[in-house]
Amino acid sequence: MAISIKYRPLKAFLLAVQTGSFTHAADRLGVTQPSFTALIRDLEEILGVRLFDRNTRGIALTAAGRDFLARVDRPIADLEEAYRSILDLAAVRRGSVVVGSLPSTSLTLVPPALRMLRAAHPTLRIRVVEAHNDDLVTMVRTNQIEFAIAAMLAPAPDLTFRPLLEDAFAAVFPAGHELAARPRLHWRDIAAHDLILLSRGSSVRELYDDAMQDRPETTAAASRYDVTHMTTAIRLVRQGLGITVLPSLALPELDLNGLVACRLADASARRTIGVLHRRDRSLSAAADAFTTQLAAVAATASSDPAAAARAGRKPQPGKRSTRVR
């Protein structure tokens, strides 16, 4: 036989036990005493037993009432804790997020967004996983991260993509390099030189390889040095070992003193960075809060490419500006 017991009569029962009085329990529940008595009576009728003995001195649990208390006290407490926990998650008072980020966005968008998020929701816990674009897409698909700050370089019907900003790639070389005299640079121009490229899986490498598909001999010989980190690429350029291609978004955070960064003119040397997550999974309230801050930082960066890098940071006296064209 199906039994229908509502939460309110159970809560009334527990409050009566805690206060030892229907009058005080009714005040705690926010109802009149007759309404409270009716809740207890309805519960007793459903259970088919008397839960309280009532007299002029107060109330006392019956044997059935004591047995019922032992069975419902903990479950009701657990239920209320579950409600409070979910309400806290919905109000972003607690929770954790694992997010994937491109190295360039970890340098620029993520730090100021985390600062803003902490100010608004100080109890949230955030873990940032840095990886190349291909790896981030895989981690989203396999639920290793909740969402990624990445580029969608190919159609993916199983993923949702919300654009944040546009970014262009720039060739970086010493100020005295022969490429410095060119007013515009293209993929084909840099392909003739020793290249220091970020490793396969990065968006710049994928876009370069796609642009060079009709020149397989150039692609095969292009990368003299294959590196993982942008700072390593810059150091190799300083040693005269070649030129590199890096995202413009990251340039304000890199030490390019004495170097030139020239944005590539090819339409294929651009990418859209955004929030990437599984189409069949909704973002948590904490993740939504984080993406809101990311969008705010990205909006500033879109109007000023160096703004994301400067957000929340004081200018450094004596630091020479990067030459970018």
Does one domain contain both 82 and 103? no
Residue 30 DSSP class: T
Domain limits at 178?
A: 96-324
The predicted-structure confidence for 91-139, as pLDDT tens digits, reads as follows 556 578 899 999 999 999 999 999 999 898 888 888 999 999 999 999 9
Question: Does pLDDT of 323 surpass 70?
Answer: no
Q: What pLDDT is stored for residue 56 in this prediction?
A: 73
Does one domain contain both 58 and 107? no
**Cβ contacts of residue 207 below 8 Å, gap of 6+?**
153, 169, 268, 269, 271
Listed residues 90, 110, 128: the one ending a domain: 90
Does one domain contain both 24 and 126? no
Cα 82 off chain centre by? 24
- How many domains does the chain contain in total? 2
Both tokens of residue 35? 């309404």
Of the two residues 7 and 94, the one the predictor is more confident about is 7
The predicted-structure confidence for 141-158, as pLDDT tens digits, reads as follows 999 999 999 999 889 999
Of the two residues 165 and 3, the one the predictor is more confident about is 165
Instruction: Calculate mean pLDDT across residues 49-61.
Output: 87
Instruction: Calculate mean pLDDT across residues 39-49.
Output: 91
What single letter denotes the amino acid at residue 132?
H
Does one domain contain both 86 and 100? no
Torsion sign across C-alpha atoms 254, 257, 260, 262? positive
Instruction: Calculate mean pLDDT across residues 286-302.
Output: 89
The C-alpha atoms of residue 113 and residue 110 are separated, in whole angstroms, by 5
Give the range among 10-14, 298-302, 305-309 with minimum mean pLDDT: 305-309
Residue 140 lies in a domain: yes
3-state helix, strand, coil in the chain (%, to 5): 50, 25, 30
Listed residues 37, 68, 90: the one ending a domain: 90
Mean pLDDT of the chain: 85
The C-alpha atoms of residue 278 and residue 275 are separated, in whole angstroms, by 10
The C-alpha atoms of residue 293 and residue 104 are separated, in whole angstroms, by 17
Domain containing 35 — which CATH number? 1.10.10.10
Listed residues 90, 105, 135: the one ending a domain: 90
Q: What pLDDT is stored for residue 242 in this prediction?
A: 93
Does one domain contain both 161 and 187? yes
Picking from 242, 247, 233, the residue whose alpha carbon sits closest to that of residue 173 is 242
Does one domain contain both 103 and 74? no
Q: How do beta strands 223-227 and 195-198 pair?
A: parallel
Question: Does pLDDT of 72 surpass 70?
Answer: yes
Confidence of residue 37 (pLDDT cuts 50, 70, 90): very high
Does one domain contain both 36 and 177? no
The C-alpha atoms of residue 58 and residue 20 are separated, in whole angstroms, by 7
Q: What pLDDT is stored for residue 80 in this prediction?
A: 74
Instruction: Calculate mean pLDDT across residues 227-231.
Output: 92
Question: Does pLDDT of 303 surpass 60?
Answer: no
Q: What pLDDT is stored for residue 2 in this prediction?
A: 62
Side-chain half-sphere CA neighbours of 154 within 13 A: 7
Question: Does pLDDT of 308 surpass 60?
Answer: no
Residue 296's φ and ψ, nearest 5 degrees, are: -65, -45
Question: Does pLDDT of 162 surpass 60?
Answer: yes
The predicted-structure confidence for 241-259, as pLDDT tens digits, reads as follows 999 999 999 999 999 999 9
Other Cβ atoms closer than 10 A to 268: 13
Domain containing 283 — which CATH number? 3.40.190.290
